[in-house]
Structure 1
Amino acid sequence: MHIDSLSLSLSPSLRKTNLLLSYLFSPPPLSLSHRCEIHSLVMGAFLDKPKTEKHNEGGMGNGLHFGLSSMQGWRVEMEDAHTAVIGLPHGLTDWSFFAVYDGHAGAKVSACCAAQLMEHIIANEDFRGKLDVSQGTEIFPSIEDVQKGIKTGFLQFDDRMRTLPEMVSGEDKSGSTAVCTIVSPTHIFFANCGDSRAVLCRDAMCPFSTTDHKPVNPREKERIQNAGGSVMIQRVNGSLAVSRALGDFEYKNVEGKGPCEQLVSPEPEIFIQERNEKDEFLVLACDGIWDVMSNEELCDFVRSRMLITDSLEEICNQVVDTCLYKGSRDNMSIVLIAFPGAPKVSEEAIRKEKELDTRLENKIKEILDNSHPDDVNLSLVMHELMNDEIEGLPPGGGLSSKRSTVESILERLRPGKTDAGFSSD
C-alpha cells in the first residue's frame, strides 16, 4: 500500500510511527509534505537562530534563596513553565514549593501546571491529613500525609484538566513533565513525572537525583505494553518521548485500566530527603539542560559560580547560556535553590577568574596576530581555543561557559566585527 493511503487509515500516534519507520527503512519515494512532516518529527521545529532573551525571578525566605532563568532557545515556541513560592498558604508559612514544567505539543498543560498544580497538592485532604498543632498554630502534615497528598494532587489535577473544553474536543493535545520540590523545615520532598530532573548538592557531592521516566525503562515499558502499547524508537507507540506526563490525554484512553496504568501515567515518583546542615543547593531543570550536562557537571559548575557571585539569577543565566553553547536545541529552564550551607563568594576565586580572563585575552590576541583579519570570527576563535589547553576553566562548564567572555574580548579588540556564529544547520 502506498504510504499516503496507509497514513490516512492510522491513528495520529501510529501515523507518526509509520512515517518515521518509512524514513528509517528505505521507503518508496515520499511526497514533499511527508518529507517536511518527517523532518519536523525527527528534528523538531527550530528557528533560524536562537531566542536568547531570558526570564528571571529570584527571592529569599525561610532560610532559602532562589533564582531562576528560562529561555526559548532554538524552539519555535516556549513551552516551559515554572513555579517558585516561599511561604505556602494554608498555614504552611515555613514551607516552600518549586517546580519546572516542560511542555510538549503546545504550552497549555505546562501553563496550567504552573498556575494550579501546587494548590491541588497542598490543599487536598490527603496532604493536610491529621493536622498537628502541637507547635503553636503552625500546621505540620506528616511525612505520610505529604506523600499521599502529592500523588492525590497530581491525579486530581490531571483529571480536572481532562474536562477542559479544548481537551474534550481534542483541539489541544499538549502534555507536560513536572518536577517539583517541597521544602519543609525538616525534609525535602521531590515529585517527578517525566524527564525533567531535580538534583541535590550536599557537601560538594550529588547524593541524590530524581529518575527520568523514559519509555525504555523496564518498569515503564512493562506498563506501556500491559496497556496494549509498544515502545518503538525509544518512544511510546513510536511518538512520545516520555512515559509519564500530565495531559497527553490521547494516551490515557485504555478501557479497564486505571489512571496510573495507562500508556502515559500522571503518577509522580516521590522521594524524600531529610535536611542536613551540609545541604548546599537544589537544581530543578528541564531536559534542555540535562541533555548537555550531567548531574555532576552541573553541580560542579554551579558551585564554582557561587564562589564568584551571590546572584543566583546570574548563575542560572550562565547555566542556560552554557547549555546553549554546548549544543542544546530545546527550551531551557532552571530553578536554583540555595540552603544556608551553600558556597559563599570567595576573593581568591574571583582573583582566579580574572586571571583566567586575562589568559583568554592573551590567547585571543595571539590568534588575531596569526590570522588574516577577514578570516577571524567568534567561531574560529572558539575553535582555536578548544585546541589549546587553558588552565582554570570552570569545572563542568569548560570553554563553553566562557563563550560570552570570549565574545566580549573579541568585540573590544575588533569593534563591530564580531559574529555570534549561530546557525540552524
Structure 2
Amino acid sequence: MVIIDLAHGVFSLRNCLFFFKLMGALLDTPRTEKFNESGVGNNLRYGLSSMQGWRVSMEDAHCAITQLPGNLKDWSFFAVFDGHAGALVSELCASELLKCIVDTEEFKRIDPDLAPSIPEIQQGIREGFLALDERLRNLPEIASGKDRSGSTAVCVLITPNHIFFANCGDSRAMLIRDGKVSFATTDHKPVHPTEKERIQKAGGSVIIQRVNGSLAVSRSIGDFSYKTDRDLPPTQQLISPEPEITVIDREKASDQMIVLACDGIWDVLSNDNLCELLLERVQRLDDLSKVCDEAIDYCLYKGSSDNMSMVLVAFDPAPKVDPSLKAEDEKLEEVLERLTNSTFPYPHTFTHFRLFYSFLRLSCARL
C-alpha cells in the first residue's frame, strides 16, 4: 500500500508540475526554507510554518495573537491568508484584519464583566472584513490599478466559552475534538450553487470552475477588478468579501486542536488525513511548528505546487508527547543525519531524500 502511494506521489509530482514549469509559473527547484513561529497564552499553545515551495514568490501571510488588546486579554486570534496576483493584500490582511474587527462598534460594546452577545460578535467580525476590504480599495496602488492582488482569509477567534470560525475563500480551518474532525469550514468555490447564483446575478459566469474563467475562489479580500458594479453592495459582487461565520461552544475537556491552512495543504490532504497525521506527530514532537513543518514537507512530496502555510493551535486535552515515541524519533533522526551526511553531497539531493523520508514515515504512521 505504501509503495503504491509513494509511486503515486512521485508521478503526480512530476506530471502535474511539468506544464507549469514550462510556462514559467513555477521554479525549477522548490524553495523549502520555512518560516516558523510558536507561542503560548490563554491556556493554549500554537506553532506555525510557511514555505514558498514551487511558486516563484511567496504570497501567503498569517497572524497569531494569543492575547487580544484592551478588555479582551483572555481572547485569542489566529488566521491564514492565501494571496494571489501578488502579496500586498494578504500582507495587509495579516496586519490589519484584527484591528478592523476590534474597532467595530460591536466589539467596542463588549463588557468583560458580562457575557458577550454572540450575534454581536458575529456581526463585528463581518463588519471588520467588509471595512478592511473597503479600506484596501482606497489605497493608491490599488485604486490606480497598479496592484490587482487578492487574498483568501480564514481565522478563528477563541473566547473563554466559544470558538468563532470566519472563512472567506478556500483556505480552511478545522476543529479536532475527541480524536476526530468535529468541524471544518466550507470552501467558497464558484461551482457551489449559492455562490454560482450570486455570480450570475452580478452578470458573471462560471467557466471551467472559475469566475469568468479566471478566479478559482468566489469570495476574497481585494480582487477589485471583480467588484466594479456600483449598483451592487459588496456582498453581491462577482467576488464577495463577506465571511461565513460559525460559532461553536467550547468543550474544554475534549477540544484538542485547531488547524488553519491554505489550499496548498488541502489540495493533497483530506480533513481526516490531516487529523490523523497531526494526532500522531504531536505525540513525538513537542514543538508544534515542527509538526507543521513535517506536514508541509509531506504535502510537497505528495505533489502540492502552491505556497503552503499552516497554523496549529493545541488546547490542554491535545495528546501529550510520549517519551518513548519521542526517543524513538530522535534515534531515527540521528541515523538519518549520519546517512545523509555520508551519502548526499549535494543539497538538492539531500532535500529530496528528506522529503521522501517524511513522506514514508508519515504514510507508515497512517497504516
- TM-score between both structures, scaled by the size of structure 2: 0.85
C-alpha RMSD of matched pairs (Å): 2.2
Worse-matched range after superposition: 344-353 or 244-253: 344-353
**1:64-118: CA deviation from partner (whole Å, max 9, x where unpaired):** 1001000101100100000000110131000000000000000000011011000
Distance 1:160 1:46, change over 3 A: same
Per the alignment, do residues 147 and 42 of structure 1 end up closer, same or farther by CA in structure 2, a change over 3 Å counting? farther
CA distance in 1, matches of 2:197, 2:234: 15
Relative distance call for 1:41 and 1:47 in structure 2 (3 A) is closer
Q: Tell me, yes or no, if structure 1 residue 174 matches structure 2 residue 149.
A: yes
Q: Which runs of 5+ in 1 are unaligned?
A: 1-38, 358-403
Distance 2:164 2:281 in 1: 26
Q: 1:347, CA displacement in angstroms?
A: 2.9
Extract structure 1 runs of 4+ deviating beyond 6 A: 39-44, 404-407
Q: Which residue of 2 aligns with 1:396?
A: none
Q: Give yes or no for the alignment of 1:134 onto 2:109.
A: no
TM-aligned CA deviation for residue 417 of structure 1:
6.9
SS in 1 for 2:106: helix
> Which residue of structure 1 aligns with residue 32 of structure 2?
52
Alignment equivalent of 1:288, drawn from 229, 251, 264: 264
* Matched residue SS, 1:302: helix
Alignment of 1:128-167 (within 5 A): 128-129=108-109, 131-134=110-113, 141-167=116-142
Counterpart-to-counterpart distance in 1, 2:344 and 2:89:
45
Structural mapping, 1:155-234, within 5 Å: 155-234=130-209
Q: Secondary structure at the match of 1:78?
A: coil
Is 2:70 the counterpart of 1:90?
Answer: yes
- Of residues 280, 283, 287, the one that matches 1:304 is 280
* Residue of structure 2 in register with 1:6 after alignment: none
| Matched-pair contact (CA < 8 Å) for 1:127–1:148 | no
Do residues 266 (structure 1) and 247 (structure 2) align? no
- Quick one: which of 267, 291, 316 aligns to 1:315? 291
Aligned counterparts of 1:65 and 1:177: Cα–Cα separation in 2: 24
Distance 1:228 1:57, change over 3 A: same
Counterparts of 1:87 and 1:60, CA distance in 2: 9
Q: What is the TM-score when the length of structure 1 is the normalising length?
A: 0.74
Distance 1:53 1:132, change over 3 A: same
8 Å Cα contact 2:340-2:350 kept in structure 1: no
Taking the aligned partners of 1:298 and 1:44, their CA distance within structure 2 comes to: 31
Show the counterpart of 1:115: 95
Output the CA distance in 2 between the equivalents of 1:246 and 1:133.
Answer: 30
How far apart are 1:43 and its partner, in Å?
Answer: 6.5
Alpha-carbon deviation of 1:256? 1.9
Percent pairwise identity: 55
Rounded to whole Å, the distance in 2 between the matches of 1:195 and 1:88 is 26
Give the number of aligned pairs.
332
Provide Cα deviations, 1:367-420, integer angstroms capped at 9, x if missing partner. Answer: xxxxxxxxxxxxxxxxxxxxxxxxxxxxxxxxxxxxx99964642563537824
Residue aligning to 1:81: 61
Note the C-alpha offset of 1:134: 3.4
Residues 97 and 183 in structure 1, CA contact (< 8 A), matched pair in contact too:
yes
**CA distance in 2: counterparts of 1:420 and 1:176, whole angstroms:** 34
- Counterpart in the other structure of 1:64: 44
The answer to whether structure 1 residue 416 and structure 2 residue 317 are counterparts is: no
Counting only pairs closer than 5 Å after superposition, residues 368-387 of structure 1 correspond to structure 2 as none
**Is the 1:127–1:141 contact (alpha carbons within 8 Å) kept by the matching residues of 2?**
no
Mapped partners of 1:172, 1:258: distance in 2 = 22
User: 3-state DSSP class of the match of 1:342?
Assistant: coil
| Cα displacement (A) at 1:41 | 11
Q: Distance in 2 between matches of 1:350 and 1:421?
A: 23
CA contact (8 A) 2:163 2:249 kept: yes
Change (3 A) 1:243 1:133: closer
Shift in CA distance, 166/406, structure 1 to aligned 2, threshold 3 Å: farther
The Cα shift of 1:132 comes to 3.1
Paired with 1:214 and 1:41, the residues of 2 have a C-alpha distance of 26
Contact 1:128 1:141 in 2 (8 A): no
Q: Is the 8 A contact 1:127 1:147 kept in 2?
A: no
* Amino acid aligned to 1:315: V
Pair 1:290–1:416, CA change in 2 (3 A)? same
Q: Name the CA distance, whole Å, in 2 between partners of 1:143 and 1:343.
A: 30
Question: Deviations along 1:31-84, whole A, 9 cap, x unmatched?
Answer: xxxxxxxx7699671111011111111110100100100010110010000000
| Structure number with bigger Rg | 1
Other-structure match for 1:331 = 307
For 2:113, the aligned partner's letter is S
- Higher RCO, Cα 8 Å, sep 6+: 2
Distance verdict in 2 for CA 1:43–1:233, change over 3 Å: farther
**Ranges in structure 2 where 5+ consecutive residues have no aligned partner:** 1-18, 353-367
In 2, the alpha carbon distance for the partners of 1:246 and 1:41 equals 28
Secondary structure, counterpart of 2:286 in structure 1: coil
